[in-house]
Amino acid sequence: MDLENQKRVKDFAEQYGAENIVVVLGAAEGEAAGLAAETVTAGDPTFAGPLTGVQLGLSVFHVCEPQIKDEVDPDVYDEQVGMMEMVMDVDDIISEMSSIRDEYCKYL
């Protein structure tokens, strides 16, 4: 997650309360999604951005997870995400995201 997005997430959490924020990721690989998820829950693991040492514990999901997919109009989901979902390892992404949530999320 780039430094500007880290700042945005941190500012939103401060403005609206961490318990009111849900982060939805769209990275194409489980490892990349996990790194971004860890950043918004446990703090920036690269020690480079505004979330370094900041444990927000935010709720975080990937757009391909059932918790998000089931909330989106199927036609819109198919149009916006469907093609990418066919080439992603969705099981790996779900596993990575679940692991991060189980370990670091405070607000589920």
Question: Mean per-residue pLDDT for 60-79?
Answer: 97
The pLDDT mean for the chain works out to 97
CA–CA dist 41, 106 (Å, integer): 8
pLDDT digits (tens, 9 = 90+) for 16-50: 999 999 999 999 999 999 999 999 999 999 999 99
Q: Residue 3: its pLDDT value, please?
A: 96
Q: What is the span of the domain harbouring residue 23? A: 3-104
Sign of the torsion formed by the C-alpha atoms of 37, 107, 43 and 15: positive
* Total domains present in the chain: 1
- pLDDT at residue 108 is higher than 90: no
pLDDT digits (tens, 9 = 90+) for 82-91: 999 999 999 9
- Coil, helix or strand at residue 43: coil
Q: Structure pTM?
A: 0.94
